[in-house]
Amino acid sequence: MRNNRPLFNRRNLFGATAAGLAASSLGACATSGSDDEVDDVEVGDDAENPFSVDPSAPLDVVIFDGGFGNEYAVAHQAIYNEAFPDAEITFLATQAIAETQQPRFAEGKPADVLDNSGAQQIPMDSLVSDGELAELTPLLDAPSYDDPAVTVRETLRDGVLTSGTYNGEVYALNYVFSAWTVWYDAKLFRDQGWTPPTTWEEMLALCPTIKEAGIAPWTYAGQHPVYLYDLLLILAGRHGGVEVLKAIDHLEPDAWRHESVVKAAEALAALYTEGYILEGTPGIDHIQSQTAFNERKAAFIPCGSWLPNEQASIAPADFEYMPMGVPAFEGSVQPGLISAGGEEPFVVPKNATNLAGAYEYLRIMLSKEGAQIFGDTVQAATIVKGVELDNPAAQATDALVSNPDDLFQPFFRFWYTKMNEEVRPALGSLLSGESTAAEFIDRMQAVADETAADDTIDKFTHED
């Protein structure tokens, strides 16, 4: 099920996006045949086959083969073939999403279902702007796989469609319910008599004690500093409220200069200047940083909720992964704010040959059986309600995301490729002492202003 430890894996959905490859082939998407006549899929009266799937039509599925593997996808396809035994399923599990799928979009012959994730994710803003994707309202309005009296939309966790919604239209089904948190080893803390901090000030007060034990307080994936993205923004959003983050997403003037964002940038910069980051961290990748964390060389690491499963074969047997929210500044106005929601975007290309089958495949993924298969296989929750996991770390993560009003994902990284590409090296420079907090703020405000002024870039807003 697991990959063979590549340099990049699924978490680089927010990291390097194979920019060179994308730049060379995205232009072709605009002329790939998006304007051709495509039959719309409508929801019919047959609850067992609401999209009127041709039972003998082949289905073409492409899955990103990263941290979640592809075992769950094989099981989902088996369910599809139970319903349509004559349908031949072509299945590709790969990490080379852009490399293998961009040419297909350019030719007007894309897959029917695409898990558009990983280091080679095709930029979502380009796919949406170029009209390459089918809108998913028919899927959401269809009867659920388990109960025809309940729509698919009604089976989903609150807020999980937001990250796949562009100006009110849903173009991506982000199947995994993830949370970006700070992780620690509960056994280490218990053995040392340390109390997990709930505020930034408590964390700073604990850092000298951690260092005295011969352990660095922090590490992170220095080569992929996007792992710091949510640490910075959620720290700012907790302090000033979620509107601080929405202002950044909406390209509002001087949004990066808000006092809460400045305070968060200064706080992260201080982790380096105070010597609280594991030596050498700016030069290591996610594998090396997580290995150092597993070896108890560092006490805290920022990462997503997939971390325990991804490290299952690496971590010591007695290692107890435990998540905590980003420690909030004292006096924060929204201390429970957390970056959580749908990730791992599944899309249906507008020019899919078997559009009805693609919708049905996603409906199966969103069934109770399909969601539980995923949860049991990779110990991560899908966006479907009622998936119960017996892993303590997963249960703790669920507790952190229990309040829907505190769930928010900053989206400029999805909406504006240039800003996404700028924030990663900017964060790397900030945490390695190569730039000051003021320089970081100036850098990000400049690229935000450029994006706002560029009339060739489609602009998006949060649907409140």
- Model pLDDT, residue 346: 98
Domain with CATH 3.40.190.10 in the chain: 10-178+341-408, 179-337+414-453
CA dist 277 → 84, 202, 273, 438 (Å): 54, 17, 9, 20
Cα(384)–Cα(296) distance, integer angstroms:
35
Token couple for 229: 């993205």
- Model pLDDT, residue 53: 97
- Model pLDDT, residue 105: 97
- Model pLDDT, residue 392: 85
194, amino acid identity: W
Helices 229-240 and 242-249: crossing angle in degrees, nearest 10, is 120
- Model pLDDT, residue 464: 55
Q: What are phi and psi of 182, to 5 degrees?
A: -105, 135
- Global pTM value: 0.77
CATH class of the domain at 10-178+341-408: alpha beta
Q: Which segments within 73-143 are labelled E, that is strand?
A: 89-94, 113-115
- Model pLDDT, residue 26: 39
Q: What are phi and psi of 157, to 5 degrees?
A: -60, 155
Cα(358)–Cα(107) distance, integer angstroms:
19
Token couple for 17: 């996006």
Place of tokens 């289905």: 59
- Model pLDDT, residue 389: 81
427 in Cβ contact with 229 (< 8 Å): yes
Cα(441)–Cα(424) distance, integer angstroms:
13
Largest CA distance in the chain: 68
Q: What is the mean pLDDT of each run of 10 residues along the chain (464 residues)?
A: 28 36 38 48 91 98 90 97 98 97 97 93 92 96 96 92 90 92 97 98 98 98 90 97 97 98 98 98 94 97 87 91 96 95 93 98 97 88 86 84 88 90 95 97 98 94 74
Closest CA to 271 of 305, 311, 236, 220: 220
Token couple for 154: 């009604």
Strand partners, 61: 91, 113
CATH no., domain 179-337+414-453: 3.40.190.10
183 in Cβ contact with 321 (< 8 Å): yes
187, containing H or E segment: helix 186-192
299, containing H or E segment: strand 298-304
In 108-147, alpha helices (H): 124-129, 137-141
